[in-house]
Every structure is written in structure tokens, then in C-alpha cells.
Structure 1
Amino acid sequence: MFESRHIKTFHEVVRTGSYTAAARALGYTQPAITQQIKALERAVGAPLFVRVGRRMRLTEAGETLARHAGVILDTMAVAHQQMRALRGLRTGRVRVCAFPSAGATLVPEALARLAAGRAGVRVELQESEPPDSLHRVVRGACDIALAFTYPGLHEEVPPELVEIPLLEDQLTVLLPAGHAMARRRAVKLAELADERWIAGCLRCRTNFLHECAELGFAPDIVFTTDDNLVVQSLVAEGLGIAMMPGLVLSFLVHRKVVGRALDPASRRQISAYVLREHLEVPATALVLDELRSVAANRVGC
């Protein structure tokens, strides 16, 4: 294995033509230069120079190493600059995996804040529902997963992950604008026992069924889809109603649909999940800070 300082010394001897000139350029003594070249020759397993009169001449091994030394030193210089940039939070790639409503709300706001202050941090986006998103972090397929959990359900989190709570997201009911309960500020789930329902992802659907069972009824689920826009369109056409997370209300676009809070309130916990060692990666820590700030602003609204 070659040491970088030995390569640098060798490169300087080749450039200046002598041990004495290289020592002067590098600020070393001549014996120090001699020792480093001998150490490099031991690592190479062959002499690098031969003396011809007063001149130093490269051996075949020396010529081979000389062709690569400059490239090695340039590559190391670039790597050093990149590491300094990472330590200074100027650059870095962070892969964020989010479920759809977080990807449409929390993530864009956090990225906008990030771009305004640290343009060198590059974020790659992925979309997946938990628990798959959590397993992606464990497998190394992403660095941060945004996921949600419901208080009434026992949900396993891989032990390798650290949970960073962001906010509680209040659940709402989507109703057609002309629905009899659309004028209320909040609705009771038990009062909607006879409605036709549109269910979402598996985790949301499991929680919905659990909450209905707690109230003593089994909902009539007529459609199931993970697509929030499809849910809105189905509700708008009077084909059913839906329990949806509050985050969806911020991008509710269908004018024939209204969202009403549940009474009593029902919430889910939204958190970021990372491997413990990733908390020490500056770029990852910066993205987490921005997600916390966005979440805190939403809680205060």
C-alpha cells in the first residue's frame, strides 16, 4: 500500500530532478526525502531511481509510477475538497422516501428551505408507504423515510432505526359538498356507520377498520385506492365518503369535496426514520432539521 506523502515526495523529486531540490520545495531535509523514497521503493518492490553521474534517472518501475503519480495526487486533492465540503454542509446526496401526502406537503416545503440556504445538498425523492419505506432505510436504499403510525395499532419498527417525531396529523372525513353533514365543523364517525366508504392504503385501512370496530360497526367499503385524487373524484361523484389524513386538506383541489375533522379527534403520528449512524452525516442532519422546521410550522397553524 502506497502512502500519499511518499507519492507526493516522489512526484516532487521527478518534477525538480533531485532530492535536494525536492527537499527545498517541500520544506524537508534531504535525509527525510531519501527515507521516504526508500520506503516507497520497499512498497513498490523495486528501485525507482538510478544515479547516472550527477543526475537521477527513473527506472522502468519509476517511469510507470511517474505516469500515475500526478493523477493520484489530483484525485486525492479532489476527494479532500469534497470531504471538506461535506463536513461544511456544502454538498451531499440525501435520499428521502415519503408516503404520498407527506411527499406533497412536508417534503416540498423542506426542499425549498434547503435550496434557499444550502444549494449544494442534493435530495433524491422516492415514494413508498410504510412499512416498505422503513425497510428501504435498513437495506440502504434510502437515507430518510417519512412514515406514519396509528396509536391504536401495534406496529413493529426495525430496531436499527431511530424515530424522529415530526407532528401529529389529524384525520378527517371527505364528504361531497352537498352531503347533509358538510355544513358541520366536525363529524362523529359513529354517525356515518351507514355510509358507503372509500378506503386507502393497507395501514390506513387497517386503522379505519379498527376505529369502526371500536364503535361497534363494520363499514361498507365499496372502493379501495391509494391515489388521493381518485378518492376525491369518487367522493365528488357521491360514490362514497372517505377517512383521510389532514395533510391532504392542504392540497384538496376538488371543489365538490369538503373535509371535516372527526369528533372526538383521531390522529396519526408522522415521523422521520434513519439509521443511527446517519444522524452524524451533516447533509442528512440538515435535511432532518428542515423537516422538523416545516413540521413545527404546521403544528403552530
Structure 2
Amino acid sequence: MDKPTVMHPGVKLRHIRAFLEIAAEGGLSSVARAQGISQPALSRTLAELEDLLGQPLFLRQKRRLVLTEGGRLFRRHAALALESLEAGAAALRPGTSGSLRIGVLPTAATRMVPAVMLRFREMRPEILLRVETGPHHHLIRLLRDGGIDLMVGRLPDVSEMPGLSFEHLYEEDVLLVGRRDHPMEARTVTEALKASVLILPPETALIRRPVNDYLASLGLVGIQPAVETVSLAVGRGICLASDALWFISRGVVAEELERGMLIEFQLGARFMSGAVGITRRQSASAPGLAAFEEIARQLAPGMPEAKAG
């Protein structure tokens, strides 16, 4: 017995490609120029797709086209479907599978991205994953210049977002950690900070501003760190070998906390949390990009989430 078809048989590949490109660019004119067709012709293609699907996919806001809720849902599945078709075509032509270039910030480097990459490998073994690590400003520059296809980490500053899009995956807090059996464990945070060697994120790190605000709230504006780093290897090494205290994102030290190697000092500051997700160029297109994003969405609920102090 034939399985009933949900999607109208009139939906063609040209409709899907046009829809995805319009969604990426947020408008018709640049897509029409890239495809070498008139804007009215592209508009008709979009209207055909909306008629065939039975609902609008975009809302017009000033000069931009913004996806409706249905449009966002359809975009996710359409992107995965198109990638699957392209993967099938690539499988018939060895050597054309390509690679996906990923920028990874420290907060997602120890648990989030490795988990996504392992799942991705099972689904798309023909695609090479190229990973670039480094500070936020370095990865943002690579993203804008086309050196990487996406970046996984904290939400960039609003001034950095023009031309980029961010998809929220989960919330994560900034912690103050030290070694197990730390001599200041039973003291107040203010007393512990005054009496201990301090490790802070670099001034260029996204989490440095909330850390500075927290220190100011305790009247510790002039307190000086001995080291500035978000490196797990460096920060962990110093903490385990001394009585140093380190402000760092939960995702960086989640495993050390679970194993009891490091302990968390309760800060009691709700504003010390922030969004972690995927940042990419609005017009980005790369082999496996949609599949990587979908896997990240599926695994995000299992990541270390923000906790109220």
C-alpha cells in the first residue's frame, strides 16, 4: 500500500533552494542577482512554494523578510533534506564530499562540541571536520572573513552581530572555582577573593565584563589578577597546584567539578550567566552545516546549564 504524501508533489528543488537563499539573505534582491533572474520571478517562485505548503513562510518587516514560525521550522528540515541530497550526489563522485570548518570557544570545547562531532561523524562520515580554536575576537574575524563556517560559544556582543546570526542552545553560568579542600572554602566569597591568588578571563573574553561587574558589586574594583586565561589546561593546572581561585564558564570545568578535582564557590549572582549557541554568517552554506546545527540542538539540553546561586 502506497504511503500517503504529505508534501504537495508540485514542490520542486528550485523552490527549496530559492527559499533557503532568501531565508539566509533576508531579502529578494541579492538572491535574484545571484541567480541571474528578475526579482518578480523570484517572488513568484516564493509565492508558489507558500501556496503549495499552504501557509506563509515570511513576514515583511521594513525592508527585510523575516521567517514566520512555520518558516523557521520548514527551513530546518529543508536544509537537512538538501544536504542529504547533496551528500547522495557526492557519494557518487569520490573526492567531492568537502569539509566543515568550525570555530570553538573554550566554553564549548570540552564537552559540547566533542559530543556533537562524534554524533556528526556517525551521520556524515564523508565530511571532514576542521576545528579552529582561539579567543573570541580571533574566531569572529575568521567567521567574517570566511575562514570558518560557524562558531560555537557565547553570544557575541551586539556590535559584532551585523551580517551574522546567532542560534541559542542553552544558558551557562560563570563560576568561581578552586581546588578541593581549599582553605577558604568556608569563608565568604569576598574574604576568599581578597586572600587568594586570582585568575580572571582576559579583557577580550566575553565573560570578563560580567566578572568585572561582579567584583565591583563586592567593592573589589581594584583587585588585580595574577593570571588571565580561559585555557582549561593552564587554569586547572594552577588551581590544582595552589590556592588560586579562577572565574571561568561552567562548560570549561564541568568534568573537573563532577570528578571533585575542583569545587565551586557560591556567588549568588544571577547575572553571571549567558547564552551559548551557534554563530554564523547569515548567508553561510557548507557541507554538513545544517546537520551539525541539528545535532547541536538535540544535544544542547544535556549540557551544563546555568544555576541560580
User: Which TM-score band applies after superposition, normalised by the shorter structure?
Assistant: 0.5 to 0.7
Identity fraction in percent = 14
C-alpha contact 2:178 2:246 (8 A) present in aligned 1? yes
> How big is the shift at 1:179?
2.1
SS of structure 2 residue aligned to 1:165 = strand
Describe how 1:143-154 pairs up with structure 2 within 5 A.
143-149=149-155
What is the rounded CA distance, in whole Å, between the counterparts of 1:131 and 1:98 in structure 2?
A: 12
Q: Which residue in the other structure is 1:175 paired with?
A: 178
* Of 272, 275, 278, the match for 1:269: 275
Q: 1:201 to 1:105 in 2, by over 3 A?
A: farther
Q: 1:176 to 1:299 in 2, by over 3 A?
A: closer
What is the rounded CA distance, in whole Å, between the counterparts of 2:233 and 2:84 in structure 1?
A: 43
Read off the aligned partner of 1:208 and give its amino acid letter. V
> How big is the shift at 1:96?
0.2
Describe how 1:1-301 pairs up with structure 2 within 5 A.
85-86=86-87, 91-149=97-155, 155-180=158-183, 182=185, 189-195=189-195, 196-202=197-203, 203=205, 204-218=207-221, 219-252=223-256, 257-265=262-270, 266-278=272-284, 281=286, 283-298=288-303
Q: 1:156 to 1:260 in 2, by over 3 A?
A: same
Per-residue CA distance 1:117-146 (angstroms, 9 max, x = gap): 221222110102212212211100000012
User: Aligned Cα RMSD in Å?
Assistant: 3.1
Higher relative contact order by CA 8 Å / sep ≥ 6: 1 or 2?
2
In the superposition, the TM-score normalised over structure 1's length comes to 0.61
Tell me the number of residue pairs that the alignment of Structure 1 and Structure 2 aligns: 213
> How big is the shift at 1:177?
1.7
In the superposition, the TM-score normalised over structure 2's length comes to 0.59
C-alpha contact 1:169 1:269 (8 A) present in aligned 2? yes
C-alpha contact 1:87 1:282 (8 A) present in aligned 2? no
What is the rounded CA distance, in whole Å, between the counterparts of 1:181 and 1:294 in structure 2?
A: 36
What is the rounded CA distance, in whole Å, between the counterparts of 1:180 and 1:287 in structure 2?
A: 44
Structure number, greater radius of gyration = 1
Per-residue CA distance 1:179-205 (angstroms, 9 max, x = gap): 24547xxx9644544133112233233
Q: Which residue in the other structure is 1:16 paired with?
A: none
Q: Which runs of 5+ in 1 are unaligned?
A: 1-81
Read off the aligned partner of 1:172 and give its amino acid letter. L
Read off the aligned partner of 2:299 and give its amino acid letter. V
> How big is the shift at 1:231?
1.4
C-alpha contact 1:189 1:212 (8 A) present in aligned 2? no
Range with greater deviation from structure 2 (212-221 or 168-177): 212-221
What is the rounded CA distance, in whole Å, between the counterparts of 2:169 and 2:233 in structure 1?
A: 25
Q: Which runs of 5+ in 2 are unaligned?
A: 1-82, 92-96
SS of structure 2 residue aligned to 1:252 = helix
